Structure 1
């Protein structure tokens, strides 16, 4: 993405953020996750917290559980039902309200996926190949480039546009997806008549969530603290995390990634600054740091875990939430597909 393009996206994002509190009814948000495993602290601070805040402002919010996208770079759907149900449990435990937020799955909404056909005709192969997320996902998975992974940004455009989403919370690295969606909406409107808004990326505060080894927190790296982890599992993970031989605790991401990752984790959970925590622990060493981080994380997650336990005991309710979300999503998708077919002259 060029600097000019980023600056334009940043300006749009700033204008929307300034307007959100005054006019939340003007915005419809779509975001989502792939159900490839348990959600973790990185998901919470990176996206879920923002979704709950937007929901609280009165923005119409929608969350897609992108189950079809699991097979972009994986050869199995083993455990997918369990992952989907646990994802819903995590959302609700973190404050997502199904009365205000529609939660639904890709595979349950046929009309959403049917938008892929006209949308694919609006992008070139070169535009698909250029998308940086497609490249990085392929490299990370070590999987051959499937047709579904190549067209991943187009499928995301279907997710956003089927419900006329006009705002999508994203980090800077996801902006190319939003630009591709804007392009698809613009080309469709120019070619067939105005049906879709051109959505904007709502840039989230760039909180970098390190895993326990200093790399990005990720399920695939095994360095993540799951929202569903017990206090004991959390303590064990933090205890095993790598630090270094220096006794004094300092915040230095370049030279002390392990120590710094632990400090950032504690800072996010307590609302304090990393440097202040480091100064407080001082010469007490890595053991004292890990004890502080464990207490901070477990204290932060305690209310989420309590709500989780209650929800785990009522799986019938979780099924109802999904069923109702899928029903509402189908209603919206069918209406949008009817509009698309009418605009294209394909009503017989």
Structure 2
């Protein structure tokens, strides 16, 4: 789904869904999630997590997946995975995810969800799996061999989305091929066996991508990401050592001055200010003054998140209970959906 015509259609469906949400949020179910490969950072927050909180607060039925099985699509170890999952829940709670209104669950604890892979794999061709541009990009970025799990990653995502009959999946433009694959699987299943699944929509946001502090994609592996779990001292140190350039006069020019512009973008995203206005305000103050300003902005933004996170971290029993309860609910939903699938396929014995 790379061409402009396809994107325009995806945008039309997204806009239509937003209109529906505004009118009757409780009629919609949402699925979103993250791989527990490390700590969540501000790129995750502004990219999708903030939107989840907003939709949850509007009254949309919200489901959040900790995609632990997807860690091994391109990694050879599950070391630290449990710790990462627990910390992910702390991050969710700190930014406003409410487990009373949002179901938080893990792949590995919901067998019926994963069992949907078998019938779903029969609905896609080998060439479709190889064609998915997101899979290619993720393989290249990881440098890992193409595993069977990575190749079928979009099908597994279809299981995530369709097991709870989610109509909404918040995505960036680059993830639209996954949504199209899921729509194909839902349509083919419904045509072949009878209508069981809705046709999900990629819910597009106008939020621009927040770059890392060096201008590249924000990523823990690049060392350019501000994690939600960082202390004020850690963020200050990270910002201080971020690379800028030798030109003392500050301007906003992402193409030619990626480091300087990434710092400005960070401040602009958190304050809602225009990046050019921030650059003009710093002017000849140089990178030192820019970094000082960005550090203050980050501290102001992160202070309430840090405070809430620290409170929740005092009770890890609560964190574990949230996952256990989410897994219990997810299993009940997945078992019911799998029963519907078996019945539609004539596999009830």
Distance in structure 1 (CA, Å) of the matches to 2:237 and 2:29 = 41
Match of 1:200 in 2: 201
Aligned length: 348
- Structure 2 CA distance for aligned equivalents of residues 19 and 188 of structure 1: 25
Report if aligned partners of 1:251, 1:278 keep a CA contact under 8 Å in 2: yes
Deviations 1:37-83 (A, max 9, x none): 00000001101100000001100000000000000000000000000
* Residue of structure 2 in register with 1:181 after alignment: 182
In the alignment, the residues of structure 1 paired with residue 16 and residue 316 of structure 2 have an alpha-carbon distance, to the nearest angstrom, of 41
Counterparts of 2:343 and 2:175, CA distance in 1: 32
Residues 59-68 or 198-207, more deviating: 198-207
Q: Which residue of 2 aligns with 1:221?
A: 222
Give, in angstroms, the shift of residue 19 of structure 1: 2.0
Q: After TM superposition, list the pairs within 5 Å mapping 1:1-348 onto structure 2.
A: 1=1, 2-348=3-349
- Distance in 2 (CA, whole Å) between partners of 1:59 and 1:97 is 12
Runs of 5+ unmatched residues, structure 2: none
> What secondary structure sits across from 1:211 in the alignment?
coil
Post-superposition Cα deviations, 1:95-132, rounded to whole Å, max 9, x if no partner, equal: 00000000000000000000000000000000000001
Q: TM-score, normalised by structure 1?
A: 0.99
Root mean square deviation, CA, Å = 0.6
How many Å apart are 1:206 and its aligned residue? 4.0
Distance in 2 (alpha carbons) for counterparts of 1:5 and 1:284: 46
Structure 1: 4+ residue segments shifted above 3 A: none
What is the CA deviation profile of residues 216-263 of structure 1, one whole-angstrom value per residue up to 9, with x for unaligned ones? 111121110000000000000000000001111110001100000000
Structure-2 separation of matches of 1:5 and 1:278: 37
CA separation in 1, counterparts of 2:258 and 2:200?
37
Question: Secondary structure of the equivalent of 2:290?
Answer: helix
Cα distance in 2 for residues equivalent to 1:230 and 1:206: 25
* TM-score, normalised by the number of residues in structure 2: 0.99
Contact 1:171/1:206, CA 8 A, preserved across alignment? no
Cα shift at 1:5: 1.4
Asked if 1 retains the 8 angstrom alpha-carbon contact of 2:46 and 2:207, the reply is no
Unaligned runs of 5+ in 1: none
Find the aligned partners of 1:50 and 1:28 in 2 and give their Cα distance.
14
SS at match of 2:140: helix
1: distance between equivalents of 2:26 and 2:89? Answer: 25
- The 2-side partners of 1:246 and 1:311 are apart by 44
